[in-house]
Amino acid sequence: MHDPDSAHINTSSAAEEGIANAVIPGNLPVDEHVEEVSENGKKVRRRGVYLLPNLITTAAMFSGFFAIISGVNGSFEQAAIAIFIAQVLDGFDGRVARMTNTTSAFGVQYDSLSDMVSFGMAPAIVMFSWGLEPLGKAGWAAAFIYTACAAMRLARFNTQVDTVDKRFFVGLASPAAAAVVASTIWLGSEIRPNFQFSLLLALLTAGLGFLMVSNIRYNSFKGLGLKGRVPFVAMLVAVVAFVVITIKPALMLLIIACGYALSGPLIWFKARAQQPNGSNGE
């Protein structure tokens, strides 16, 4: 005798099995990442993600996360160094992806999220824990301005990456802003800022945030021919620079980072001053 309840159960089981085995175009499981990538100049569809560049991106994000934990626990020098380590790793993942022909849209988005942790959240939280806490709400407001501007800077970069001149960044890049914050913390990690010093740090933190979302152009140095031959003296200068940085790393990194952060506004003001009267700058 036919049991309608049994038929209903069998139908439901079949439907659930069908959902579990559902596929997307190309006969690939729905839970597998699939995207179109470039390989040897050709567009092909590949399943999964590339391991090596995304592993480096993960290491960079871990360094940023470690910086946050260290800052909250009061290990400010350790936190600052971790941010610089994240910068080094962040500079490698994209180059490794291009060298190994493993660039992908997933890698680009993952790198951006990693940057948000390492250069958006970590510098702001560590700076607040070290030097902004005496200001109370004003302190965390300055830290949030930095974080929000870093997020907007990264979002704008992602949407303009194919349309802007690659020789320049529009606005201060988030790793460069993080370098100013990290080197400041590293240099003063042994002191506890008083209220007046904390006010200066709040202005610095918020100011870096506004520079990130400004329209001021910064040299990206992507036009440098690092693969070509250079005079012997250039190699000597590089060696001396490494030695000087090694002697006083925090101070020298702060000078370099601040010099780059100020280069954009200085060039902008110089260009404005040289414009003839009546020019609108366009």
Q: What is the mean pLDDT of residues 37-57?
A: 72
Q: How many CA atoms lie within 13 A of 7 on its CB side?
A: 4
Q: How far apart are the first and last CA of the chain?
A: 86
pLDDT recorded at residue 48: 64
Taking the C-alpha atoms of residue 66 and residue 107, their distance in angstroms, rounded to an integer, is 22
| Structure-model confidence comparison of residues 255 and 7, the more confident one | 255
pLDDT recorded at residue 11: 45
Taking the C-alpha atoms of residue 271 and residue 268, their distance in angstroms, rounded to an integer, is 5
Taking the C-alpha atoms of residue 94 and residue 6, their distance in angstroms, rounded to an integer, is 57
Report whether 80 contacts 119 (CB < 8 A): no
| Structure-model confidence comparison of residues 4 and 82, the more confident one | 82
Report whether 33 contacts 49 (CB < 8 A): yes
Residue 193 three-state SS:
coil
Which superfamily is assigned to 34-273 in CATH? CDP-alcohol phosphotransferase transmembrane (TM) domain (1.20.120.1760)
% of residues, the chain, pLDDT over 70: 78
| Structure-model confidence comparison of residues 232 and 267, the more confident one | 267
Judge whether residue 29 has pLDDT over 70: no
